[in-house]
A and B are shown apart, each in its own frame.
Chain A
Amino acid sequence: MNFDFSDDQKFLKGEARKFLDANCPTARVRGVLDDEGKAYDAALWKAVAEQGWLGAAIPEEYGGLGLGHLELCAIAEELGRVVAPIPFASTVYFVAEAVMLAGNEEQKSWLLPKIAAGEVICCMATSEGPGPATEASLKTTVKDGKISGVKLPVTDGDIANIALVLAKENGKPGLYSVDLDGEGVTREVLQTLDPTRDAAKLTFKDAPAIRVGDAGAGLEIVEQVFDRAAILLAFEQCGGADRCLEMAKAYALERYAFGRVIASYQAIKHKLADIYVKNELARSNAYYGAWALNTDAPEMPLAASAARIAASEAFWFAAKENIQTHGGIGFTWEMDCHLYYRRSRQLGLVAGAPRVWKERLVSHLERRNAA
């Protein structure tokens, strides 16, 4: 039994933590939070690119480090821990994964090296409004290589160069690459719960679009990409949830009430124990997801669903109970608690809400047990 990261992977994770402790203190996150004109931390983005992290799982022939997905999981956990205000997930977990999965040779050779080098920011545009995007609900269309329609919210849509857009062509959903700096694209920044991760409304009017993957396979590709992204996001969520537990513990150990530290009251001790239990269950599910992702296992849809559900709920629980443990001070803008509370909502929704994943999970179980 070897259900753990290797020593090399743990070393990489340790180095990533040191790097981010030095380069992404919460003051940097607040630099994005407090400045409405700032969508992300460009200096941090550049520094992360120089570390090679954007191409960690991209093969060397396409300009990446060719390490593997376990290494990317390790990095993701550290990024989540510091609520890094950069378009890493959009660019790497969604778009690089989609191109590696469904792109043709030309598309891979063109885009992956740019991603690995940090030359482009990418985003995934599937949602068109409240509720999950379905074949019936999808309104964005492609005709003669031109795309038209409205997508919102698109995380990082205001700063991305390239978008992968879910749209219908001849009545069937496909996935299309659109140059957001080109003609026929207008962007509008949206007000969101987590201003450290911006989102936009993208309006396409006859913008040039190139199909990625087979015609009519859009929803299947998106589902597979979301499985991969869900596992990587789960590591970010585990990192964030563990940080919340650390913050709550540190505060509970220094805050006195009724003559003793609040960490000595069972109401607080049991609350933190509950966070710990949820975090460990999330971590174990995320590990299984990492194994499935790294080996491209047939169990991936189930593993991804379980990782997504456990991590989304653990981060939400840890983030809200961290504020509760802090009491009044935790409700202030100056304390960092709300950075994690906000990010837990962003990460918990960006690849689809837990409710949607629970339905997917049970559908898979039904099919598997019927067969």
Chain B
Amino acid sequence: MDFNDSPEEAAYRTEVKAWLDANAPKTAVADDGEGGGSMAASKAWQAKKAAARYAQITWPKEWGGAGGTPIQQVIFSQEEARYPVPGNPFQIGLGMCVPTVATFADQATKDRFVGPALRGEEIWCQLFSEPSGGSDVAAARTKAVPAPDGSGDWLISGQKVWTTGAQFSDFGIVVCRTDPEAPKHKGLTMFWVDMHDPGIEVKPIHQMSGGSGFNEVFFTDVRVKDSQRVGALNDGWKVSLVTLMNERLAVGGASGAGWREFMEAARAVPGLDGAPALKDQALREKLADWYVQAEGLKHTRNRTMTALSKGQTPGPESSIGKIVSALQMQDLGNTAIEMLDQFGIINDPELAPLQAGFHSSVMFAPGLRIAGGTDEILKNIIAERVLGLPGDIRVDKDVAFKDMPTGR
């Protein structure tokens, strides 16, 4: 038991370090305000990585990958994180959309899309969630109907929601209702769409936290060719499972203020008796709890990496990260602002500790507890896929979609 690289991993790390040292940016680029961080810099960095086959290390060589192992990807990411590299708006496309399209598409489509996506020339988004179905993705109402001109084309109409990066995406994959007579899982079909189509309107969502990282996407008679269908007609649920399997790997845990930041803040804030709040026994116990959770997650990741390192599939323990970290983010942030007493209501970065970082945690954590699988859905997944407990009784399983009870 140790934390060392194997000889092969060490050699790979040396190679990656040398390449990064010669090629990675040495200074950070400022946000250009267009919603993609610093898009020009991101695209340039992605192109450079793609040329050296570091963009998608685990992809096969014919797709422009390196045919490498997951642990090599982890090593590259660890080393890359040491440099002030620009944001990565390509991950949803490369991690979820493009592999889905490539799994089901013909060679010409693959040739058309894989390369430009890999090089960062084209960005993809995933259009699954709808106002009527977040956790219940299969309840999608956005419909695709055959074009009345008999061309074999499809017309897509409806609304998607919580679409990350739609405002700067070139293409997207969209799940549509194609057979409302069939039960909900059996009447869906997936298509890829051109996000520049005039029938598509992207509107930013104003989040409760104040920011706008996601979008609503409106489809009005968007015409797509039948060749844009991904997978068989009415087989869209199975196709989307391929995408969703990759999502839980892509939605990371919470970042931001952790036990260290809390401890530093508690040193500086007066407690109940005038001594620093860090001397308050109740706060010390909470600090210990957060430290133990954070360490538990860190070493759970180390166990996952060990499995990858040995060429094994990581065990189910890797599924616990977001459940634990999102809730901790909320609790820790709230305890920190309660520690400030009346002053805690102030979230002016000039006045509040950590430039109001604890306040940001409080306001962002509710979203993190929902995104990419709510706490409740993730617990269902652990219960069903890890522990092998039965799935929920689905009252809508054999009901035609059009007859399904709906609320608002």
Contacts and interface: CB of A to CB of B under 8 A. Distances in A.
Interface of A: 1-6, 70, 245, 249, 252-253, 260-261, 263-264, 266, 268-270, 272-274, 276-277, 280-285, 287-288, 290-291, 294, 305-306, 309-310, 355, 357-359, 361-362, 365-366, 369
B246 to A, nearest CB: 22
A290 B2 CA distance: 10
A-B residue pairs, 9 tightest by C-beta: A281-B296, A269-B383, A358-B288, A284-B299, A273-B379, A273-B382, A3-B302, A284-B300, A264-B390
A283 B293 CA distance: 11
Given A1-B305, A1-B309, A270-B376, A287 B299 contact: yes
A285 B296 contact: yes
A281 B278 contact: no
Nearest to A303: B295
B387 to A, nearest CB: 6
A274 B380 CA distance: 11
B334 interface: no
B320 A5 contact: no
Contact of A358 (B6, B284, B296, B306): B284
> What is the predominant secondary structure among interface residues of chain B facing chain A?
helix
Given A269-B383, A276-B382, A358-B288, 16 more contacts: A1-B3, A3-B305, A4-B306, A6-B1, A264-B389, A272-B383, A273-B386, A274-B379, A280-B296, A281-B292, A284-B295, A285-B295, A294-B1, A355-B285, A359-B284, A366-B263
Nearest to B307: A4
B289 A264 contact: no
Interface in B194-245: none
A310 B389 contact: no
B291 A282 contact: no
Interface residues of B, number: 55
A269 B380 CA distance: 7
Contacts of A357: 288
A249 B320 contact: no
B323 interface: yes
Contacts of A273: 378-380, 382-383, 386-387
Contact of B320 (A3, A277, A358, A369): A277
B386 to A, nearest CB: 6
A365 B291 contact: yes
B397 to A, nearest CB: 14
A3 B295 contact: no
B386 A276 contact: yes
B188 to A, nearest CB: 25
Given A1-B5, A3-B3, A281-B297, A269 B292 contact: no
Nearest to A360: B288
A350 B32 CA distance: 58
B389 A287 contact: no
B182 interface: no
Given A3-B305, A282-B296, A362 B284 contact: yes
A261 B390 CA distance: 9
Given A310-B292, A358-B285, A284 B389 contact: no
B342 interface: no
A362 B386 CA distance: 34
Given A1-B305, A3-B1, A264 B392 contact: yes
Interface in B274-305: 278, 281, 284-285, 287-289, 291-293, 295-300, 302-303, 305
B389 A4 contact: no
B317 interface: yes
B4 interface: yes
State the main secondary structure of chain A at its contact with B.
Answer: helix
A290 B1 CA distance: 9
Nearest to A276: B382
Contacts of B285: 355, 358-359
A358 B285 CA distance: 6
B324 interface: yes
29 contacts: A1-B309, A2-B1, A2-B4, A2-B306, A2-B309, A3-B302, A4-B1, A4-B306, A70-B1, A252-B389, A263-B390, A269-B387, A270-B379, A270-B383, A277-B382, A280-B317, A281-B292, A281-B297, A284-B300, A285-B292, A285-B296, A291-B2, A306-B292, A306-B296, A355-B285, A357-B288, A362-B291, A365-B291, A369-B263
Interface string B74-88: 000000000000000
Interface in B367-402: 376, 378-380, 382-384, 386-393
B303 A284 contact: yes
B303 to A, nearest CB: 6
Contacts of A276: 320, 382, 386-387
Interface string B256-270: 000110011000000
A8 to B, nearest CB: 12
Residue of A6, A357, A365 most packed against chain B (CB within 10 A): A365
B138 interface: no
Nearest to B278: A366
B7 to A, nearest CB: 12
B71 interface: yes
B160 to A, nearest CB: 27
A231 to B, nearest CB: 13
Nearest to A369: B263
A258 to B, nearest CB: 11
B288 A309 contact: yes
Contacts of B392: 264, 266
A159 B383 CA distance: 44
B306 A1 contact: yes
Nearest to A269: B383
A245 B383 CA distance: 11
Contact of A362 (B2, B288, B383, B390): B288
B320 A280 contact: yes
Contacts of A6: 1
A306 B154 CA distance: 58
